[in-house]
Structure 1
Amino acid sequence: MKLLIVDDSSFSQIVTSKLIKNFFEDIDIILANDGEDGFKKYTEIKPDYVFVDLLMPKLNGHGLIKLIKEYDKNAKIFVISADVQNSVKKEMEAYEIKSFINKPFNEEKAKLVFDIIKGDMQ
C-alpha cells in the first residue's frame, strides 16, 4: 500500500509516519512539504491514501484536496489538521474525505485510520 503524507511540518510527517507504520506491515510512505509538491507526487505515484494538512504554504490543503478530487474523484483522503472549526470540517466532508482527524496525531488516531482502511479492504 502507498500512502502520501502532505504536511509542511517535518515533525508531523515523522510522527505520522512512525505511528502509521506501527499498524501496517507493508506500507510505502511518501512525503510532500506543501500542496504543490503533494499534487505532483499524487499524479506520479497514485497513492492508495493521502493524508493532508490544511494549513500549508504555496497550495494549502483545501486547494490540494480540490485538485486531487478533480483529478481522481475516488481519491481516499484523510485530513489531519489543527484547524478544527466546524465550518472547515463541513467543507472538507463535502469532498467525501475518509475522515477529519484533529492534530496532534497519536496512537489512538492511527488505530482509527487503520480501522477505516481495514474496512475499505473488506
Structure 2
Amino acid sequence: MDILIIDDSVFSQRIIANLIAKHLDNVNTYFAKDGEEGLEKYKSIKPDYTFVDLLMPKLNGEELIKLINEYDLDAKIIVVSADVQKSIKEEINAHGVIEFINKPFTEEKAKTICEIIRNEKNEG
C-alpha cells in the first residue's frame, strides 16, 4: 500500500508515518513538504491514501485537495490539521475527504485511521 504524506512539518510527517506503519503492514510511505510538491508526487505515485495538512506554503491543503480530486475522482484523502474551525472542517469535508483528524496525530487517532483503511480494503 502506498501512502503519501503532504505536510510542511518534517516532524509531523515522521509521526504520521511511524504511527501508520506501526498499525498497518506493507506500507510504502512518500513525503512532500508543500502542496505543489504534493500534487506532483500524487500524480507520479498515485497513492492508495494521502494525508494532507491544510496550512502549507505554495499551495494550501484545501486547494491541493480540489486539484487532486479533479485529477482523480477516487482519491482517498485524510486531512491532518491544526486548523479545526468548524467552518473550515465543513468546507473540507464537502470535498469528500475520508476523515478530518485534529493535530497532534496520536496513537489513538492512528488506530482509528488504520481501522478505516483496513475496513475499506476488506470491502474492496
Could you tell me the TM-score, scaled by structure 2's length? 0.97
Residue 79 in structure 1 maps to residue 70 in structure 2 = no
Return the alpha-carbon distance in structure 2 between the equivalents of residues 6 and 18 of structure 1: 15
Return the alpha-carbon distance in structure 1 between the equivalents of residues 94 and 73 of structure 2: 12
Residues 32-43 of structure 1: pairs in structure 2 closer than 5 A: 32-43=32-43
For the aligned residue pairs, the C-alpha RMSD in angstroms reads 0.5
Return the alpha-carbon distance in structure 1 between the equivalents of residues 96 and 55 of structure 2: 19
Could you tell me the TM-score, scaled by structure 1's length? 0.99
Residue 44 in structure 1 maps to residue 44 in structure 2 = yes
Residue number in structure 1 paired with 2:18: 18
**Structure 1 runs not aligned, ≥5 long:** none
Return the alpha-carbon distance in structure 2 between the equivalents of residues 73 and 92 of structure 1: 15
1:22 aligns to what SS in structure 2?
A: helix
Displaced runs of 4 or more, over 2 A = none
Residue number in structure 2 paired with 1:55: 55
**Structure 2 runs not aligned, ≥5 long:** none
Residue number in structure 1 paired with 2:4: 4
Return the alpha-carbon distance in structure 1 between the equivalents of residues 88 and 103 of structure 2: 14
Residue number in structure 1 paired with 2:113: 113
Return the alpha-carbon distance in structure 1 between the equivalents of residues 102 and 12 of structure 2: 12
Deviation of 1:24 (Å): 1.1
Q: In structure 1, what residue type is equivalent to 2:47?
A: P
